[in-house]
Amino acid sequence: MKKILITGGAGFMESSLDLINFVEDRQGHDFRYAMDATKISNQLNWKPSFKFEEGSKIIIEWYLNNKQWLKNIADGSYLKFNKGKL
């Protein structure tokens, strides 16, 4: 994730690294988690729309551009919206 944030391009999230609390790896856990889409590709002829890095960048940008949405989820005020009160 650091690589995506750092190499995101001109002005892309220089301050965003400050938003993340990086923690030490937990003993007994993998340093990386491998993803293999071979089975779904072979059985369903599925192909990803984006490379992992590109998709991650899109997701991070969305969250940075929708901070109020995230705040509403975190504080529970989205529940009022579902009841028509927000």
76: left (phi over 0), alpha (psi -120 to 50) or beta: left
User: Is 79 within a domain?
Assistant: yes
Instruction: Tell me the per-residue pLDDT of 25-80, one tens digit each, with 9 for 90 and over.
Output: 777 666 666 778 899 999 999 998 998 888 888 888 888 888 888 888 889 888 88
User: Is 75 within a domain?
Assistant: yes
Rounded CA separation 40/36 (Å): 9
Distance of CA 29 to the CA centre of its chain: 20
User: Is 25 within a domain?
Assistant: no
For residues 23 and 61, which has the higher predicted lDDT (pLDDT)? 61
User: Is 31 within a domain?
Assistant: no
User: Is 83 within a domain?
Assistant: yes
Provide the pLDDT confidence category of residue 8 given band limits of 50, 70 and 90.
Answer: low
User: Is 65 within a domain?
Assistant: yes
Q: What is the pLDDT of residue 70?
A: 86
For the chain, what is the domain count?
A: 1
Rounded CA separation 10/8 (Å): 7
Domain that includes residue 54, residue range: 1-6+50-86
For residues 20 and 52, which has the higher predicted lDDT (pLDDT)? 52
